[in-house]
């Protein structure tokens, strides 16, 4: 091909500079200036130019980040300067920092009254150490630490890391080697594992393992799919680059050249400064977006570093001051099942006690049955346990090579419990495709008792004013209330005997309980706490079925339809279930229908409901004919103060006619009902052109809708 036109060459240079600039903004500064679609356009333009003129391709071209042939093995790289490790201070308390400072002062021959030594303090990243070699500012090689003398050439893989610049800004030195850490952010790790789960592939144990494993993949395309990051923290060999006089200034210079340098670093004075830095980072360790296992202290002045020198190939002028380990190995002795306040069943590993994250851990969550099976955790296994700060300890992986011959069978939650809740004996259920098993005895189960009572008494449910969390704790812990029906048998004297309760307060509670006996079917259904049944769904069920008995019959029919075990396809099964009456209710899909069926299939729940009816809980007959929903598909938003009825009453009337009442205004809102002192929601409606009704117009709409039903 002939000579490249000058305007084409200039365009290629400009595109490379633009893309490099935006890469730095995106990957290093986390402050992108252009949308992804515009970045993609620039990238495609450069690809097209390089495809048309192959000689335009340069080593620092952004198009060279992804791709490359699959290697048979990694070539060895002899480091120009050894990549030495640094000494670890095992005392994780303040004494660790003070011991290091005392050694430095002793080696320098400083008297007690001499000024404090200046240190550069930074984070000890939990990733893979890497050496980047730049020739004339262009990345030409990346190598792992290896044994310190010889590493492996992983240039193809490191090129895929977006935060590693392919060309440095303002650097023309013949050689500049930059040392740092390849790591993976926690949010990127979580997204990667989510993709693995969706694809049915194995999940990874921790970000460090993924980072190290990705860089050592022989196929660079695999590394390109892993969201890796990089931080620079030092120098290797240097030729023709003016090295600053302090370590902190070196990091500043590297940052100015376009390399990512962690902002959590400081220049401190003496032992007190080191201790303060260690404690500050410890306090924010769990909030950092990436994992660390300690901090690093370095004498800041390079001249002092040279005076101190090395011992056994470790620098005397630097030390790693670690924190308590967040991961340890231990053995699973049993797998128990715990029932949460909402009825969720969580498998918990009972462990051989192990000190991790600063405390002794004997239990660790396994999240749910799918996670246990995915990780293949069995009784007798040696496992990796992780605890970060106040986070509940969890089992993150299994050491399969240590599995004993007599290890337990693969985990089966339903089989282990024989299909029954370990707290109350109610049936357990799990919707198709869901991760969690739940106890279906929500009104009866002791583990769910307090949660069920608080929900039942809530303002939008049975509205028992004054029955709060502390009072419920006393009633349950004192053995006075075992389920919600027991509330209606309480006497004023029993309340008065409780802590911080006088006779007047006790009588007020009795009056509130008595008043709650008269309710609506919608409120009662919501108060039952059926999973996935909120206010709107409860109102739709009440309006559609009219009576509790008809709803219970529809739930029983749906349960029988679920239990059919023929060989039909998933699509055929879905069509058959959709024909069931329960799924004819607006906003009731298969998951909600299954929860309703499970709830009403549990005899314990039916017993509590019967006792509530016997205690006088009742509601007026629902006048709307089943299936008549004149406002179905319409979305209303209420704002301001209404005069003739409360917003809750207006909401119930609209829901009884099939309307959905939302909390915010959007383009999908059909009407906004505005009372006195309406605020931002009214302004939003006017901005979007949503029709606004006053209280009189709302009442006319409700009456017209009722008239249509009666006709």
Q: How many helices (H) and strands (E) does the chain have?
A: 25, 24
β partners of residue 338: 346
Task: Name the residue among 611, 651, 635, 636 with its Cα closest to residue 523.
Answer: 651
User: 175: which 2 tokens?
Assistant: 């050689």
Task: Name the residue among 389, 396, 274, 384 with its Cα closest to residue 324.
Answer: 389
Q: How far apart are CA 73 and CA 219, in angstroms?
A: 10
User: 94: which 2 tokens?
Assistant: 């303040």
Q: How far apart are CA 463 and CA 649, in angstroms?
A: 13
Q: How far apart are CA 553 and CA 559, in angstroms?
A: 10
Strand 150-152, strand 310-311: pairing: unpaired
Q: 647-656 and 695-710 are packed helices; what angle lies between their axes, rounded to 10 degrees?
A: 30
Contacts of 85-89 with C-beta under 8 Å, sequence gap 24+, read 85/148, 85/313, 85/314, 86/296, 86/314, 86/315, 86/318, 86/319, 86/320, 87/314, 87/315, 87/318, 87/319, 87/320, 88/294, 88/319, 88/320, 88/322, 89/319, 89/320, 89/321, 89/322
CB 73 within 8 A of CB 218: yes
Q: How far apart are CA 439 and CA 374, in angstroms?
A: 23
3-state SS assignment for residue 417 = helix
Alpha carbon 543 to chain centroid distance? Answer: 38
**What are the residues whose beta carbons fall under 8 Å from the beta carbon of 7, sequence distance 6 or more?**
none
Q: How far apart are CA 233 and CA 581, in angstroms?
A: 66
Task: Name the residue among 461, 625, 618 with its Cα closest to residue 543.
Answer: 625
- DSSP-derived letter for residue 55 is G
Q: Is 708 in the active site?
A: no
Ordered DSSP codes for 430-474: --TT-S-EEES-TTT-GGGHHHHHHHHHSTTTT--TT--HHHHHH
Q: Which of 124, 375, 651, 653 is catalytic?
A: 124
Residue 21 phi, psi (nearest 5):
-60, -50
Q: How far apart are CA 44 and CA 569, in angstroms?
A: 44
For residues 385, 387, 342, 432, the Cα torsion angle rounded to the nearest 10 degrees is -50
Known catalytic residues are: 124
């Amino acid at each position: 091909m002939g000579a490249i036109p000058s305007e084409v060459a200039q365009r290629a240079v400009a595109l490379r500079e633009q893309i490099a600039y935006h890469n730095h903004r995106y990957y290093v500064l986390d402050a992108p200036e252009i949308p992804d679609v515009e970045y993609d356009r620039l990238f495609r333009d450069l690809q097209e130019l390089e495809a048309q003129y192959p000689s335009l391709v340069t080593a620092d071209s952004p198009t060279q980040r992804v791709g490359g042939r699959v290697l048979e093995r990694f070539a060895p790289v002899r480091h120009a300067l050894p990549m030495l490790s640094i000494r670890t201070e095992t005392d994780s308390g303040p004494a660790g920092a003070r011991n290091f400072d005392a050694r430095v002062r002793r080696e320098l021959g400083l008297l007690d009254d001499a000024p404090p030594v200046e240190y550069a303090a930074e984070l000890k990243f939990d990733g893979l150490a890497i050496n980047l070699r730049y020739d004339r500012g262009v990345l030409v090689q990346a190598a792992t630490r290896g044994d310190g003398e010889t590493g492996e050439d992983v240039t193809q893989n490191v090129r895929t890391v977006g935060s590693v610049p392919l060309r440095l800004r303002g650097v023309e030195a013949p050689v500049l080697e930059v040392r740092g850490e390849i790591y993976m952010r926690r949010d990127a790790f979580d997204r990667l594992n989510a993709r693995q789960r969706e694809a049915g592939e194995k999940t990874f144990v921790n970000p460090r393992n993924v980072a190290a494993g990705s860089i050592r993949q022989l196929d660079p395309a695999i590394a390109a799919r892993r969201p890796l990051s990089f931080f620079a923290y030092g120098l290797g060999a240097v030729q023709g680059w003016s090295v600053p006089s302090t370590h902190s200034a070196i990091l500043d210079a590297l940052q100015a050249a376009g390399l990512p340098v962690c902002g959590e670093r400081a220049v401190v004075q003496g032992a007190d400064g080191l201790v303060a830095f260690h404690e500050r980072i410890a306090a924010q360790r769990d909030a950092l977006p990436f994992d660390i296992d300690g901090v690093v202290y370095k004498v800041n002045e390079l001249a002092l570093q040279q005076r101190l020198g090395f011992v056994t190939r470790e620098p005397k002028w630097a030390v790693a001051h670690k924190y308590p380990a967040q991961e340890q190995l231990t053995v699973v002795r049993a797998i128990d099942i715990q029932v949460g306040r909402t009825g969720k069943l969580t498998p918990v590993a009972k462990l051989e006690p192990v000190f991790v994250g600063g405390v002794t851990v004997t239990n660790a969550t396994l999240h749910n049955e799918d996670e246990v099976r995915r990780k293949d955790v069995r009784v007798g296994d040696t496992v990796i346990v992780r605890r970060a700060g106040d986070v509940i300890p969890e089992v993150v992986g299994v050491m399969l090579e240590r599995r004993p011959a007599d290890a337990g069978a693969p985990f089966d939650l339903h089989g282990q419990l024989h299909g029954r809740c370990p707290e109350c004996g109610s049936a357990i259920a799990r919707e198709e495709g869901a991760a969690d098993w739940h106890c279906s005895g929500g009104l009866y189960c002791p583990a769910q008792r307090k949660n069920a009572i608080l929900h039942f008494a809530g303002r939008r449910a049975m509205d028992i004013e004054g029955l709060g969390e502390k009072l419920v704790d006393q009633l349950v812990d004192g053995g006075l209330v075992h389920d919600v029906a027991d509330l209606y048998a309480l006497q004023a004297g029993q309340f008065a005997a409780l802590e911080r309760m006088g006779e007047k307060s006790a009588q007020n509670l009795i009056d509130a309980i008595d008043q709650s006996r008269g309710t609506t079917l919608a409120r009662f259904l919501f108060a039952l706490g059926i999973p996935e049944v909120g206010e709107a769904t409860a109102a739709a069920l009440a309006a559609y079925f009219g009576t509790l008995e008809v709803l219970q019959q529809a739930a029983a029919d749906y349960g029988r339809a679920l239990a059919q075990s023929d060989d039909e396809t998933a699509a055929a099964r879905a069509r058959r279930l959709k024909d069931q009456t329960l799924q004819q209710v607006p906003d009731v899909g298969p998951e909600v229908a299954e929860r309703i069926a499970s709830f009403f299939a549990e005899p314990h729940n039916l017993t509590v409901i019967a006792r509530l009816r016997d205690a006088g809980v009742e509601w007026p007959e629902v006048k709307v004919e089943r299936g008549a929903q004149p406002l179905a598909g319409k979305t209303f938003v209420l704002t301001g103060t209404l005069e003739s009825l409360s917003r809750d009453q207006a909401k119930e009337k609209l829901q009884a006619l099939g309307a959905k009442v939302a909390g915010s205004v959007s383009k999908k809102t059909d009407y906004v009902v505005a009372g006195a002192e309406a605020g931002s929601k009214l302004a939003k409606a006017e901005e979007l052109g949503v029709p606004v009704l006053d209280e009189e117009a709302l009442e006319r709409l409700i009456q017209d809708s009722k008239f249509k039903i009666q006709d």
